[in-house]
Amino acid sequence: MRNLLTVYRHTFRLCWKVAPLSAVANVVLIALMSGAAALTAASQRMLIDGAQTRTTVAIVAAAGLGVLAHAGTFILGHIQGEVNQDLTVRVGREIDLEVLALAASIPTLEHLERPDFLDRVTNLRRGTMMLARSVWSGAGLVGTAVSLGLSAWLLVGIHPALPLLIGFAIPLLVLISRGNRHQRRVRDRTAENERHERSLHDLCVRAESAKELRIAGSGPELSQRAMQLWDKTTGEIVRSRIHGAWLEAAGWLVMLAALGAALSLVLDLKDAGRATVGDVVLLITLTASLSGQIDRLVRSFSMVTDGGHVTGHYLWLKKYGATQANGSRPAPRELVSGISMRGVSFTYPGTSSPVLEHVDLDLPAGSTIALVGLNGAGKTTMVKLLTGMYRPDAGTITVDGIPMADLEPREWARRGAGVFQDFARLQFLIRENVGVGDLERLDDTPAIESAITRAGADSVVASVPDRLQAQLGLLFQGADLSHGQWQKLALARGVMRRRPLLLVLDEPTSALDPQAEHELFERFTEQARDAAQAQGAITVIVSHRFSTVNMADLIVVIESGRVAEQGTHAHLLASAGRYAQLYRAQADAYSDTPPTTAN
């Protein structure tokens, strides 16, 4: 309940921020409407009683009051519905943006690969409207309670037992909240299926996956699977709704029986001369409006409880974000000793075997380090730990002696730059595609051009008519590029940031020919040396090409999550270990002579 109130306060603040006038109007309209239903019933009793006593003034006054109350209920209800809808959409959008910003601001990556996190975000995104709506339902709940109080007061006037009628709303509410609870459980349970269905759907309609699907002929199979998942998910949701509808119907039957009993009581009272015809009409009118009020109460109650559930996800996300950003020490502006890993082990969430185990490694300030090893050895994972995207399960990583966990994570992230093998194809203008590598210089054309030149991407820009202003990607009728061209732009984006302390190049040139890659790395190594001298910057390269690797100051061979060997190219070749074996295997593959077995 406290959580719900916290989020309501926050949501009211959002309402005030996005549409203060509508928020005030909504409160006033809800207050006015809560009195209108009771006023309608009271005017009818006055009308009947006035007719019996033939008091013209009373009849005219009652008729005027009735018309006013009816028109008020209708007109105010209509306006309130519109105002409410507008507020719900605007506030829902605001909450949606908040959720996205919150999820994107978490400096680590782990949550994006945790199914429970993704399910919560799915439910949260499904439920932002619900949350926004539930705030006004909470206000509506108060309004309806006031309206029911007025009705109870009118009922007491006929017979003191009649207000008990309102108490029959309780079993109805209990049954409905039971149905809602069941529906919420089903929604949570089906979130994973929904994500799965969406990913299959995306695979079927995205250009990137189209080639593989066409050649394998697997499109129909995948769309069939997506369909089955959709049927399963919606089937479960529909069944839970039907279940809820049955429970609600049972509650209403009880309520109707109570209304029938009340009516028969008032008819008996009238026969005994202890009630007027006006009282009978009042009860009938109240019965009709009571049903409406209780129905509103029930709907508001459902929305409030649904909102409470979504609130749980929302607060969880906020708390999770806060726990992931708990370091507060400023990141150094230059490196003196470098980065060290001591006893570092790491297992991906949801898996059981460690990817890195007891890694001890020193990355001296000002050096270029190459990580080599077979596929799946753990090279990219090591880079993810060094950049702070994941935290080790055991051991420590220090930056100039400061534990990385103590550093303000966003600040450390800002000290890094680079490009990953699974780079993004950002379908923006070319200048934006590159500029987002350093948001502060998004509009700095010379900086963008310089990054493009350093990444060897000048030919990519020259190949499209509008140059830097060219729109990229087929989604927006822009130019489509080859894989290698996209990669060159990703590389330019990766080197946009000025003076990073840690530059990571994780197979950034896998789509380039060996000659282009070699030239590029020569250029990078030169620049890295300048940065190294100026501020002790470290460059980490992950590559399978030994022509690139041998330029590094230190080569680290990773094997099954451990450091197998380290040293310079010459040292490792001389020691005739794993590196020498891998190097010769590649050299043989490029030569005309048959491969030798390295021993």
Ligand X SMILES: Nc1ncnc2c1ncn2[C@@H]1O[C@H](COP(=O)(O)OP(=O)(O)OP(=O)(O)O)[C@@H](O)[C@H]1O
The site for ligand X (CB under 6 A) is made up of 113, 348, 351, 355, 373, 375-381, 421
Q: Are 378 and 357 in contact (CB under 8 A)?
A: no
The span from the CA of 22 to the CA of 571, in Å, is 74
The span from the CA of 87 to the CA of 318, in Å, is 23
- Give the residue from 89, 131, 98 showing the smallest Cα distance to 4: 131
The span from the CA of 421 to the CA of 504, in Å, is 11
207-216 helix and 219-271 helix, angle to the nearest 10 degrees: 110
Place of tokens 């999770």: 320
Provide the 10 A C-beta neighbour count for residue 263. 14
Query: Which residue lies nearer to ligand X by CB, 36 or 377?
Result: 377
Q: Are 189 and 212 in contact (CB under 8 A)?
A: no
The span from the CA of 363 to the CA of 170, in Å, is 68
Kindly state the smallest distance separating residue 378's Cβ from ligand X, in Å: 5
CB-based contacts of 2, cutoff 8 Å, min separation 6: none
Query: Which residue lies nearer to ligand X by CB, 351 or 593?
Result: 351
- Give the residue from 191, 115, 168, 135 showing the smallest Cα distance to 22: 135
Kindly state the smallest distance separating residue 562's Cβ from ligand X, in Å: 12
The span from the CA of 9 to the CA of 261, in Å, is 42
Query: Which residue lies nearer to ligand X by CB, 130 or 541?
Result: 541
Query: Which residue lies nearer to ligand X by CB, 183 or 381?
Result: 381
Query: Which residue lies nearer to ligand X by CB, 139 or 385?
Result: 385
Kindly state the smallest distance separating residue 377's Cβ from ligand X, in Å: 4
Kindly state the smallest distance separating residue 357's Cβ from ligand X, in Å: 12
Kindly state the smallest distance separating residue 384's Cβ from ligand X, in Å: 8
Kindly state the smallest distance separating residue 494's Cβ from ligand X, in Å: 17
Beta-sheet strands, E only, within 384-424: 394-399, 402-403, 416-419
- Give the residue from 296, 273, 321 showing the smallest Cα distance to 102: 321
- Give the residue from 405, 266, 395, 219 showing the smallest Cα distance to 328: 405
Query: Which residue lies nearer to ligand X by CB, 354 or 366?
Result: 354
Query: Which residue lies nearer to ligand X by CB, 384 or 441?
Result: 384
Query: Which residue lies nearer to ligand X by CB, 116 or 231?
Result: 116
Rounded to 5 degrees, φ, ψ at 471 are -80, 135
Query: Which residue lies nearer to ligand X by CB, 441 or 578?
Result: 578
The span from the CA of 145 to the CA of 298, in Å, is 11
SS3 138: helix
Kindly state the smallest distance separating residue 376's Cβ from ligand X, in Å: 4
Kindly state the smallest distance separating residue 312's Cβ from ligand X, in Å: 26
Kindly state the smallest distance separating residue 564's Cβ from ligand X, in Å: 12
